[in-house]
Structures are given as structure tokens and as C-alpha cells.
Amino acid sequence: MNAINELPPARLNAEIDRVFGLQQRRKLELRDTTAEQRLEKLRRLRAAVMAHKEDILAAAHSDMRKPRVDALLGEIMPVTQAIDLALKQLKRWMRPQRVKTPVNMLGTRGEIRYEPKGAALIIAPWNVPVFLSFVPLASAVAAGCTAIIKPSEMTPALGAVIRTIVADVFDEAEVAVFEGGPEVAQALLSRPFDHIFYTGNPEIGKVVMRAAAEHLASVTLELGGKSPVIIDESADVEAAAERLVWGKLLNGGQVCVAPDYVLVHESRREALLGALDRQFKAHAGAEAGQLPELTRIVNTRHHARVQALLDDALSRGARVVTGGQSDADACFIAPTVLTDVPPDAKLMQEEIFGPLLPVLGFQDLNRALELINEKPKPLALYAFSRIKANVERILRGTSAGGTTINHVMLHGLHPNLPFGGVNNSGIGKSGGFYGFQAFSNERAVLRQTSRISFTRWMMPPYSPRLSRLMDRFVR
């Protein structure tokens, strides 16, 4: 059985214990798997994802009205790209890494071996559930781990496809899927997993981290936050607007690295607002009464949440530049640009995760950096500038999980860059080698290769000569 739906607590816990026990035994066997054995599993996973491509696209449309391109770009492409990279690089990743031998370690040889951490739990979110189930799974398989996946209950159609794909490829003793609501996640978190990979919001991230602490399990937390955009006086405003609109329309703005608010130099503010208005109308049809083919907000609860952010900002004096239309029955809010948003508005305090984009002006770059640094460290930060010194000031004057210059979100699609947050926006990195590393223990191995060890001369009683010699080593 690879999925659990609405079981009573006793049966749920018994089924989790059964599958977890199977995986506890299998994880010991997986330590000895070769690169080729792991690669064959990754090939089968890739083939199954492609075989179910149309099912994924249909489920994404059913759950969130995702257009085909959104689902291909946001759900399927990251999975195939991650697996393709592992297929090319896994043998190199698994190879023991020699380290240099310092003078006081002469006669030894050191290396780092990557061994699987063991049993992994992957808790996936609702915004891109296929991506954030199968990319971590590919890393876990590459590292030689077992895995249990808990997809979000908010996207049931996609959860069912995830379950089907896993059942097609893996025995439940190696990979299993448990569907259901928070009670299923809580039951899973009570088990002593070796590593937990969670994607979601910071508040639930704290719950996951507390649960992991009970078993001293390692964690990868991808948490999001308010990702700022800085547009200075030298930026190409038209290009910036076009790229911001792309980033805000993708998945209806429900992406953890979507631009969350814009800080634009006052000399370019009106030009940017005009460009954003034109770009949104050109690409989203954001006119009164229109419901363009855009990804919808996932459910009525989240629609009400985003609507409340918009209403609060307007009640505090914010002004709509473009958009603002809403249809609660269709879980639709038009892509909306706002300006004159006061800093105490909820829109400027909470992660939006929707198609709203506040734009604020600044006169001095240092003040813009202060505004960013007053908030928790973001998952992403974006800067549009033609002045290298300004870009360097932004990079040195802020901290973020990742940054794209003169575009948005693309660093998260680069297969050879680490992806993840810092502090409030996340812990640990994923993607490519960094994902393999997250599910691996870097085991230090030292071999004494000489018959004579330096420790022979370090035995008590300590002579004055040895004391002088150690003083020299310390200096």
C-alpha cells in the first residue's frame, strides 16, 4: 500500500509503523548500492514522470487551473532536469574525495565518503507539488536513502498522480506516499527519520524543526519569505517590468521566490508603474470583468487571505495602479500593482504568495538596504542595475538565500547553483550536488599509512624538548 486516505488514528499509526519498519530495514541494504543501481531507479522515475505527463497536466489544471505552460515549466521541467543532471554526475558525486595532508599529519591519508543518511521524510507543499516531491526524491535516491513523501492535501489531484508514479517505480519498503491532512504530517513527524526535507512557511517550519529535534534528525527547510526587488536609477525599466510580470504571473504568484515587493529609485518610479501597467495588461488581460487563463489561487481560504492583504492595504491609503478585480467563486484575483503602501500594512509584513505587487520608492540606496535588513532574511533578492558598484553594494549589504541580477527567479532554475534560504527563509541547500549532499553524511575517513605515527612522540611523560617543539608548532 503506497497511500493512506482518511484512516482512523489507530490504523493510520499502525500503517505508518509498518511502512516505516520496512524502510528501516531497507535503508541498511541501500548503503551498499552502487551508482549504477541508483541510476537505474532514477531512469525509471524519469520515465514514469514522462509517461504520466498528461495526467500531471490535467491534475494541475483540476487543482489550480494551471495553464499547460505553467505546469510544464513549474512541475515537470525541474524534475527531468534534476534527474538528468544526476544521471550525468552521480558517479562523480559518490566518489570518495581526497583531502590534503598537513605537515603534522604526515604518514596519514584523509578522504570524505558520502554515505546515505538513511530514512528520509519529504513534506511537499501545494504550490508545485510534483516538483517539490520528486526533485528531493531524486536527491534521496541518488544518495541511497529510503523516503516517505507527504504531499499537500490542498492539491488532491496532483497528490493522486504522485502516489501513482511512486507505486509504478518503487517498492513501498523504499519509497511510499502518505496522503492526508495535518494529522498525517504530525504522525509522520513523530517517527525517528534520519533526515526531513520540508517546503512551506516558516511557522510550520518551526514545528518540523521541533519534531526533528526530538530525534536529532537533520533538516532541509525551504521556507520562503518576502523576496525584495531593487531597481536603481540606471536600470532598464521596460526590461525590469517585463521580467517582474513574468515572475509574478507564473503559478499565479504562488512561488516561494516570486518577487514580493519592489523598491524603485524615485527618478524611475512613474516610468516603472507605467511599464508594469502595460505589461500586465498585455500578458494577463487584467481589465475589468476579464478572467484570463492564469493559475488560480489554490482554494477559497487562500483567496480570502490574499484578498484581506489587498483590502487592508487599500484601507490604509494604498493606490491600485492596475488590476484589483476579484472573483471569490473562481478563486481569482487579477494581477495587481499597488503604490503608496504604508510600511505597517499587512501587505508589507506577510509573505503574499499571490498576484499582488506593492511598489515603493526610495531616494538613497542605503535606505533601501535598511528597509530590507529590517525584515527577516529573504529566500531571494533581485536587483536591476547597470552600475556594478551598486550591485556589489546590494550583495554586500544584504543577506538572502539566492540572488538574480537583472532578472527574477532564474537562479532557482540553474542546476549547478545551490537553492535554499537563510535563517527565517530556510536551512540547508538543495538542487544538484547540493541535494545529494543534503541526504548524505559526509563521513571523514583517515588512514594511517606509515608504520610510524607522530603520536609516538606525544606520549607522557612530556619532556621540556617536546614542550618547546609544541610551542613552535602552535606558533
Catalytic residues: 222, 256
Crossing angle of helices 202-214 and 182-189, in 10° steps, is 30
List all residues 6 or more positions away from 233 whose beta carbon is below 8 Å from its beta carbon. 265, 267, 268
Residue closest to 441 by CA, chosen among 119, 44, 80: 119
Supply angle C-alpha 416, 145, 182, rounded to 5. Answer: 95
Residue 177, strand partner residues: 149
**Cα atoms in the Cβ-side hemisphere of radius 13 Å centred on 404:** 22
Residue closest to 79 by CA, chosen among 108, 45, 104: 45
**What is the spatial distance between Cα 77 and Cα 436, in angstroms, rounded to a whole number?**
19
Please, are residues 143 and 440 in contact by the beta-carbon 8 Å criterion? yes
Rg of the chain, C-alpha, whole Å: 25
Task: Identify the helix (H) or strand (E) that includes residue 327.
Answer: strand 326-327
First to last CA, the chain: 63
Residue closest to 12 by CA, chosen among 197, 186, 208: 186
Tell the burial category of 410 from Cβ atoms under 10 Å away from its Cβ (0-12, 13-18, 19+): middle
Pairing of the two strands 261-265 and 228-231: parallel
Residue 403, strand partner residues: 381
**What is the spatial distance between Cα 227 and Cα 223, in angstroms, rounded to a whole number?**
11
- The Cα diameter of the chain in Å comes to 90
User: Which residue in this structure is represented by grid cell 504530517?
Assistant: 185
Burial profile 189-223: b = 16 or more Cβ within 10 angstroms, e = fewer: bebebbbbbbbbbbebbeebeebbeeeebbbbbbb
List all residues 6 or more positions away from 43 whose beta carbon is below 8 Å from its beta carbon. 83, 87
Supply angle C-alpha 381, 128, 218, rounded to 5. Answer: 75
List all residues 6 or more positions away from 11 whose beta carbon is below 8 Å from its beta carbon. none
